[in-house]
Structure 1
Amino acid sequence: MDPRLSFVTLAVRDLDAARAFYVDGLGWSPEVDVPGEVLMIRVGQQVVLSLWAEAEFEAEVGPVRQGPGVAPLTLAHNVATPEEVDVVLATARAAGASEVVPAQERSWGGRTGYFADPEGFRWEVAWNPGPVGRLVLPT
């Protein structure tokens, strides 16, 4: 099996709010948009973010775990310069995101900050000056 991630699928309680945030707020273009069911957005050359209405997700995958706290995952949007971290965080806030952690310098040499989408999923915005940071940027 090749090491590859093709889809990131998130179950969302309010698909309309997710659409308003990602499409209307951030300006991302849907590849698939089935109201009440699923919204799919290409987020990389070969990666799709799939936002499923929770009921549709559960019908295919099984019950969603509920409870307090944060989902045990983060999504990351890497940028080419430290200044872009602040720009992307401001864009996300303008689209309706909640700021979770403001941009800050990290001990490993990068700069990151976090925002939460309407469902509370955490997005890291990161500038990583190391080789792996350059590996994930578009060419």
Structure 2
Amino acid sequence: MDQRISFVTLAVADLDATRAFYLDGLGWRAELDVPGEVLMIRAGAQLVLSLWDAGAFEREVGPIVRGDGVAPITLAHNVPHRAEVDEVLAVAAAAGAEVAPAEDRDWGGYTGYFADPDGFRWEIAWNPGPIGRLVLGEEQ
């Protein structure tokens, strides 16, 4: 098996609200948009973020675990400059996201979080280390 991820699929409660957040709010562009079913957004050279209506997701994959708390997954968007963390968080806030302000982290980076309409947490990160350079395509 090749070492790669092709799709990240998230089940969403309200696909219209999700579409408005990602396309109108964040300014992203859909690769495939099937109202009432799925919204697919290119998230990398060979990576698609698939936002799937929860009912359709459950019919194919199985019951969704529900309950209080944060979903046990985060998505990350790394930026090359520290100031961009706050800029991206401001865009997310303007789009209606719940935002946790950025902070300096013990490991040397600077990160903050926002939640999309379904509560999925996005980490916005400036990572000055080797992994940060790797994900930005700057590895040496």
Q: TM-score, normalised by structure 2?
A: 0.96
SS in 2 for 1:60: helix
Distance 1:130 1:21 in 2: 31
Q: For residues 108 and 124 of structure 1, what CA distance do their matches in structure 2 show? A: 15
Partner of 1:105: 104
Instruction: Give a deviation string over 1:8-56, Cα, whole Å, max 9, x none.
Output: 0000000000000000111100000000000000011111000000001
Could you list the runs of 4 or more consecutive aligned residues of structure 1 that deviate by over 6 angstroms after TM superposition? none
Aligned positions of 1:1-139 closer than 5 A: 1-99=1-99, 101-138=100-137
Stretches of structure 1 that go unaligned for 5 or more consecutive residues are none
Query: TM-score, length-normalised on structure 1?
Result: 0.97
CA distance, structure 1, for counterparts of residue 12 and residue 89 of structure 2: 22
Cα deviation 1:65-108 (Å, max 9, x = unaligned):
11111100000000001100000000110111111x21111111
Identity among equivalent pairs (%)? 71
Structure 1: which amino acid aligns with 2:133?
Answer: R
Question: Secondary structure in 1 aligned to 2:86?
Answer: helix
Alpha-carbon distance in structure 2 between the residues aligned to 1:72 and 1:110: 22
User: Mind listing any 5+ residue stretches in structure 2 that lack a counterpart?
Assistant: none
- Structure 2 CA distance for aligned equivalents of residues 96 and 45 of structure 1: 27
AA partner of residue 18 (structure 2): A
User: Which AA in structure 1 matches 2:112?
Assistant: G
Taking the aligned partners of 1:21 and 1:138, their CA distance within structure 2 comes to 27
SS at match of 1:113: strand
CA RMSD, Structure 1 to Structure 2 (Å): 0.9
- How many residues get paired? 138
Give 1:138 shift. Answer: 4.9
Rounded to whole Å, the distance in 2 between the matches of 1:14 and 1:102 is 26
